[in-house]
Structure 1
Amino acid sequence: MGTWFPKIYDAAMKPLEASQFKKIRRDLVEKAEGRVLEIGSGTGINFPYYKNALQVDAIEPNPSMSKRSDERLRCAQVPIQIHESGAESLPFADDTFDTVVATLVFCTIPEPLKALAEIQRVSKPGARLLFFEHVRMEPILLSKTQDFLNPLWEKICDGCQLNRDTLDLIKKSGIEVAKIESYYAKLFLYIEGINGMTEREKYDE
């Protein structure tokens, strides 16, 4: 990830954040309880909304991004620690987290299925997994348009995959999908998942 993109990220997102995104983020992040893992914390835009977490471990592979989160980190209402790490190899023990938060990040993760497997590994059985992501759209004309635009979009938006079917990836990973809400003609989805592997299943393995 480049060093120029973090400088424009908040400004580029401001129109969406000022409309519906702020409420979506707030509602999602307020559901995060116990020890929380945030995937790809970026400029810390979610940090002000944590109220019910005991502790947040936020991973962000780009130091230029996390550096821009300093002010939000200082103003956070709960303890937050940022780790410079990618999602495909999380520096945490098995069964560590009660909740995982990922917002607008899976479009940029190089190996999303590996990241989803890691999320399940470090989450407790029954942990709540909260996603807000843009996805591949259902109407064939719109999805083909996403395919057409993706090469240019990837270059402009620092690796973002406009046409990634993140919901399908979540389902394929074995995460139990409990709730889906759609926004902007189903371009954006709120997905509430559960780490479905029980203690008994882990013991039986």
Structure 2
Amino acid sequence: MSKWFPKLYDKLMAPLEKKKLENIRRGLISKAEGHVLEIGSGTGANFPFYKNASHITAIEPNPNMIKESLPKINQTRVPIDIRQESAEVLPFKENTFDTVVGTLVFCTIPNPRQALNDIRRVLKPEGKFLLFEHVRMGNTTLSSLQNILTPVWKHLCDGCHLNRDTLKFVQESEFHVNNVTSYYNGLFLVIESTN
């Protein structure tokens, strides 16, 4: 985990967030209800958009990302508890959360299948699993380019895999996928599932 990436993340993402991603985040996060677990909360980009949740437990493995997220806690009226944890081994009891949220995070999780299995464990039956991810594109030329760029990109961007097929992983993990919305020719997907 780098120390410089968390400090630059919000600045690097600001133009894309303001023009494109913020509205997608807002729409997805508005569907999060009850006790919410946010996986890989990063710099807290989602925090201001929680309106219908009663409490948020956010996990983030990088302590420098947690530090950058602290000012955003004041931008929400929902209580937020941030813990330094990884998604593969969640320190929570079974059936704890009403909703689990992840945005632009599954690209960096070292073992996404293990993380999905543990998310299923801590999510209540019929609980919501809401994801907004960049994914491996369906276009052969573009997905080949993602494959070429991924080794360098992972090194520069804190382990981010440009070519990860997150939708496939979700489908294989026995979540019931209710809706998939594609943005920007399939580069970004919103995946709404239930346990």
Q: Decide: shared fold, TM above 0.5.
A: yes
Q: Which amino acid aligns with 2:33?
A: E
Task: Report what 1:175 is aligned to.
Answer: 175
Map 1:149-160 to 2 at 5 A. 149-160=149-160
Map 1:101-180 to 2 at 5 A. 101-180=101-180
Q: Structure 1: 5+ residue runs without aligned partners?
A: 196-205
Q: Which amino acid aligns with 2:81?
A: Q
The runs of at least 4 aligned residues of structure 1 exceeding 4 Å deviation read: none
Q: State the Cα RMSD in Å.
A: 0.7
Deviations 1:50-76 (A, max 9, x none): 111010000001110011111111232
Deviations 1:85-127 (A, max 9, x none): 0000111100001001100000000000000001000000000
Aligned mates of 1:18, 1:113 — CA distance in 2: 31
Q: CA deviation at 1:36?
A: 0.4
SS at match of 1:177: strand
Q: CA deviation at 1:188?
A: 0.3
Task: Report what 2:2 is aligned to.
Answer: 2
TM-score norm. by structure 1 comes to 0.94
Q: Percent same amino acid at aligned positions?
A: 56
The structure with more radius of gyration: 1
Aligned mates of 1:141, 1:59 — CA distance in 2: 35
Task: Report what 1:70 is aligned to.
Answer: 70
Aligned mates of 1:132, 1:103 — CA distance in 2: 5
SS at match of 1:69: helix
TM-score norm. by structure 2 comes to 0.98
Q: Which amino acid aligns with 1:75?
A: Q
Q: Which amino acid aligns with 1:160?
A: C
Aligned mates of 1:137, 1:82 — CA distance in 2: 32
Q: Which amino acid aligns with 2:164?
A: R
Q: CA deviation at 1:156?
A: 1.3
SS at match of 1:86: coil
SS at match of 2:93: coil
Q: Which amino acid aligns with 1:132?
A: F
Q: Structure 2: 5+ residue runs without aligned partners?
A: none
Map 1:5-20 to 2 at 5 A. 5-20=5-20
SS at match of 1:31: coil
Deviations 1:10-58 (A, max 9, x none): 0111111011211110111111001000000011110000111010000
Task: Report what 2:51 is aligned to.
Answer: 51
Aligned mates of 2:193, 2:75 — CA distance in 1: 29
